[in-house]
Each structure stands twice: as structure tokens, then as C-alpha cells.
Amino acid sequence: MKLRVIAVGKIKENYIQQGINEFITRLERHTDVEVTEAKAERIKGSLSSAEMEQVKEKEADRIIKQLNNRAYTIALDPHGKPMTSKGLAKSINNLQVQGYSSIEFIIGGTLGLHSKVREEADYVLTFSHMTFTHEMIRLILLEQVYRAFKIMKGEPYHH
């Protein structure tokens, strides 16, 4: 199984990047993992609703160009469906059984995802109804995927 995270923007906080690197290293013992960054639009000052949609659409076009049409795609969005850690493990396992060799997780930029990315995705997932930065979500996603692989292998994971 190959896992790919397509995320808008770069990680600016060093402590978040260190956490991401740690979970990538841990995940590589279980699966192939790759993080691809799509260029974020520059946001200058306050934007109108129409300008926000334009920013999200430009970022969406960059994301969609990078998608592998053979991969199962999961978009992370606050309006998605929640899932437990065990549920994520079961879903990844089921996708493997169904013959998928690749899963792509999509994380939007500062303003979130444009609707066309959500429509393109096979599944729209939320981790919480709370708001997190797109940087934090990348770290949380990698931790949860690592946890899922530990669960699938029947190994304990408590830290």
C-alpha cells in the first residue's frame, strides 16, 4: 500500500515539521509514504467571499492535477464524515482487500478545500468539528494513519 498526502502550502513551524518527520519515519516501517505540497495562493489582507472562492479554486486545480486516478482519495474537510481510529484502520484494510494499492489524502490550504476537490474525492473525512491549522492537520493525519497501521497489525499503540 502506498500512501500519499497532497497538502496545500508548506510547513512553517519547525516543531510541526519535526513531528511530521517522526511519523513519516515510523510509517515507512509499514508502508510507502509520500508528502506532496501544492503551491498555496498568497493571501493579502481581507478577502471577499468571491475572492476566497477564487483562491480555493486555484489551489483546487493544483491539487486535482496531482491526483492519481487509480488511487482512493480521501479529502479532509470539517464538513466530512467522522471516523474512529479503529474505523480508519478497518477502512485502510478494506481498501487493500478491494485491490487498491494507493490511498491519497488531501489537505486544503488556509481557507480549506474548494467544493470541486470534495466532489472529486472518494471519501470526505473530518477529524473534528473544531478548527485546526492545515499544518496541524497534516501532523494529526500522519499520526492517525500510523496508529491505523499499528491497529491493523494488532500491535499496541498508546503513545
Q: Backbone dihedral region of 99: left (phi > 0), alpha (psi from -120 to 50 degrees) or beta? A: left
* 128 annotated ligand binder: yes
Q: According to the annotation, is 131 in a ligand binding site?
A: yes
127 is in an annotated binding site: yes
Q: Using CB atoms within 10 A of its CB, is residue 138 exposed (0-12), middle (13-18) or buried (19+)? A: buried
85 is in an annotated binding site: no
- According to the annotation, is 73 in a ligand binding site? no
The C-alpha atoms of residue 27 and residue 54 are separated, in whole angstroms, by 35
Taking residue 132's Cβ as centre, other Cβ atoms within 10 Å add up to 14
Is 133 annotated as a binding-site member?
A: no
Confirm whether residue 159 is marked as ligand binding.
no
Dihedral sign from CA coordinates of 44, 46, 51, 54: positive
- Residue list for the binding site for S-adenosyl-L-methionine: 76, 108, 127-132
- Residue list for the binding site: 76, 108, 127-132
